[in-house]
Amino acid sequence: MSKKKPDPRAYSRVVFDGDKQTASRAMLRAVGFTDQDFQRPQIGVASTWSQVTPCNIHIGDLAKDACAGIDAAGGKSVLFNTITVSDGISMGTPGMRYSLVSREIIADSIETVVGAAGFDGFVAIGGCDKNMPGCAMAMARLNRPSVFVYGGTIRPGLKHRDIVSVFEAVGAHAAGKLSDADLLEVERTAIPGPGSCAGMYTANTMASAIEALGLSLPGSSAQDAIGEDKRSDCHRAGEAVVRLVREGLKPRDILSRRAFENAITVVIALGGSTNAVLHLLAIAQAAGVRLSLDDFTRIGRRSPVLADLRPSGRYMMSELVAIGGIRPLMKMLLDADLLHGDCMTVTGRTLKANLESAPMYMSGQEIVRPLSNPLKKTSHLVVLYGNLAPEGAVAKITGKEGELFEGRARVFEGEERATQAILAGKVRAGDVVVIRNEGPKGGPGMREMLSPTGAIMGRGLGDQVALITDGRFSGGSHGFVVGHISPEAAVGGPIGLIKNGDRIRIDAVKRRIDVGVPATELRRRRTSWKPHKPYAISGALAKYARLVGSASQGAVTEAIQARRRHS
């Protein structure tokens, strides 16, 4: 029996067709619709263009290229915008509380516009950290044919600088290692133009993960922000989504558990950001796929780190782009049976079929190691449990930091106090900096600790100090750092019971994080524990704090019972 052909206007037909919808058509004629346009599949283009950040400043033009591809393929493009905020600009300030909140707002706003307008499919273009998971969450929720496009990476600044160079320069300046004039010179030269942050930080990590999931076209994640390759990528994405509408291929046909395993493997091979754990858990929730912290451990035991990329490595994303991007890396992993080649993608073909034409890396390049000589044989993303993190925590251990740290707790209520103490020289070798009440609820918004980790590195303490938090880390953070500690302090987690001088032991081999305090003493401390005063009592932050769940489950504002997949 032949499969029923999908209706390419399944959603727009409800909005446009028949006498009853005359008013809908009348409204759209005012924005340029013609008689013919009403008979075409309606394809939204979700643009994250903004002057707020260099990550997104160029996306308005890329959105127009996607529209052109849609129209050329016989669809009707409709451009709309969603928000973006800049982690790099708001880092270390109260504004950073809105960063993770924006992921939910982006997903909500795309879902709202696509659902209200009756779009048959859409293209989503993202360029800053929360744009990407927000777009992917909306794709999974709506389950309408759609393609994600990455806005592309920034090029290096003068002297191979990037945004992390600036944060670490602040620490060096505080330590007297950098003059005022030199600090200003770093400020003026580190960010040369459009594009997302230059290393394997969260933006490039998530772009790569989304391509590995199968939601973007091959090569989309490894392109410079400015250039014909990225413009062509957008045009082809527009064409692709019209084809997907006609074929009826939807995100949940692509987002299987095996696809998430592919994404985790690629993130590990690239040495990607700890934020990938948070965001992949959230996307899986939206797709109804069962995924947990323990899956990262399971996959991490067989997945090597191969790419020598910043922040812990030497190279930038633009240099990986120059040698072929991530496709040769993915082909290496596929050939070693580390990826599931049968996973479907937005090309309408399997991952294996997409990678048949992938080139090999050029001889002599040093950016990506062969599987026979990895930077690390197992994952750098280490999930820890213990009496400090009963629900889990996430560490980024590349091996350069060592695999064991034990020291005395230096406790700070919030990021600002910790950063001030580090810059003032009050944090010393052997300290474990504890930054708490920065979790999803307690922050709220789970701020990234790039300012304190940058200050630690800039002061030359990177191998002598550890930092733990119920907040999270920028993809640019490196050093002996542990985040996502759950339960968080705001809900009575053990991190809220630590006192200055307590001995903390972090063991990446045994995957443990413990405070050397007897259980009886922790119970005694709990009897006098009181919740931290809320940062916000109204508005978006307060609403988020009321709704958000644990970081161990992706810090989402709704928990979805994963559907059993029939594939």
- pLDDT at 187 (0 to 100): 97
CA gap 40, 28 in Å, rounded: 14
Whether 327 and 359 have beta carbons less than 8 Å apart is answered as: yes
Angstrom CA distances, 96 to 19, 200, 251, 472, 483, stand at 49, 20, 31, 11, 16
* Nearest Cα to Cα of residue 293 among 307, 277, 312, 272: 277
* Nearest Cα to Cα of residue 105 among 477, 457, 547: 547
Strand runs (DSSP E) across 348-437, as ranges?
381-386, 389-396, 404-413, 431-436
For 344, phi and psi rounded to 5 degrees?
-80, 155
CA gap 7, 368 in Å, rounded: 44
By DSSP bridging, strand 404-413 and strand 503-507 are antiparallel
Q: What is the per-residue burial (b if ≥16 Cβ within 10 Å, else e) of 516-529?
A: ebeeeebeeeeeee
* Nearest Cα to Cα of residue 449 among 99, 54, 209: 99
CA gap 537, 271 in Å, rounded: 38
Contacts of residue 498, defined as CB under 8 A and 6 or more positions apart, other chains included, come to 388, 409, 411, 434, 436, 504, 515, 517
How would you write the pLDDT of the chain (567 residues) with one tens digit per residue?
Answer: 457 899 999 999 999 999 999 999 999 999 999 999 999 999 999 999 999 999 999 999 999 999 999 999 999 999 999 999 999 999 999 999 999 999 999 999 999 999 999 999 999 999 989 999 999 999 999 999 999 999 999 999 999 999 999 999 998 999 899 999 999 999 999 999 999 999 999 999 999 999 999 999 999 999 999 999 999 999 999 999 999 999 999 999 999 999 999 999 999 999 999 999 999 999 999 999 999 999 999 999 999 999 999 998 999 999 999 999 999 999 999 999 999 999 999 999 999 999 999 999 999 999 999 999 999 999 999 999 999 999 999 998 887 778 999 999 999 999 999 999 999 999 999 999 999 999 999 999 999 999 999 999 999 999 999 999 999 999 888 889 999 999 999 999 999 999 999 999 999 999 999 999 999 999 999 999 999 999 999 999 999 999 999 999 999 998 655 444 433
Is residue 76 within a helix (H) or strand (E), and if so which, with residue range? strand 76-81
Tell me if residue 232 is catalytic: no
Tokens 């708001």 -> residue? 90
- pLDDT at 567 (0 to 100): 35
Whether 42 and 145 have beta carbons less than 8 Å apart is answered as: no
CA gap 486, 394 in Å, rounded: 10
CA gap 45, 124 in Å, rounded: 6
CA gap 242, 495 in Å, rounded: 50
- pLDDT at 475 (0 to 100): 83
Contacts of residue 102, defined as CB under 8 A and 6 or more positions apart, other chains included, come to 83, 84, 85, 130, 134
| Catalytic residue from among 221, 474, 477, 550 | 474
- pLDDT at 566 (0 to 100): 35
- pLDDT at 176 (0 to 100): 95
Tokens of 518: 């007897």
- pLDDT at 77 (0 to 100): 98
pTM of the shown model: 0.96
Residue 183's CB: how many other CB atoms inside 10 A? 16
Tokens 């915008």 -> residue? 81
Amino acid at 254: I
- pLDDT at 401 (0 to 100): 76
Tokens of 37: 């346009």
Contacts of residue 164, defined as CB under 8 A and 6 or more positions apart, other chains included, come to 197, 199, 201, 310, 311, 450, 454, 476
Is residue 47 within a helix (H) or strand (E), and if so which, with residue range? strand 42-47
How many degrees, rounded to 5, is the angle at CA 77 between CA 118 and CA 20?
Answer: 35
Whether 516 and 503 have beta carbons less than 8 Å apart is answered as: yes
Residue 184's CB: how many other CB atoms inside 10 A? 12
Side-chain-side CA neighbours of residue 13 (13 Å): 5
CA gap 221, 195 in Å, rounded: 12
CA gap 281, 292 in Å, rounded: 7
Q: Give, to the nearest 10 degrees, the angle between helix 131-142 and helix 202-213.
A: 30
Side-chain-side CA neighbours of residue 567 (13 Å): 12
- pLDDT at 1 (0 to 100): 43
Amino acid at 167: F
By DSSP bridging, strand 404-413 and strand 76-81 are unpaired
Contacts of residue 338, defined as CB under 8 A and 6 or more positions apart, other chains included, come to 265, 302, 303
* Terminal C-alpha separation, the chain: 19
Angstrom CA distances, 14 to 19, 32, 70, 99, 496, stand at 11, 20, 21, 36, 53
Angstrom CA distances, 171 to 71, 80, 183, 432, stand at 51, 41, 10, 18
* Nearest Cα to Cα of residue 529 among 495, 484, 483, 486: 495
Whether 424 and 449 have beta carbons less than 8 Å apart is answered as: no
- pLDDT at 288 (0 to 100): 96
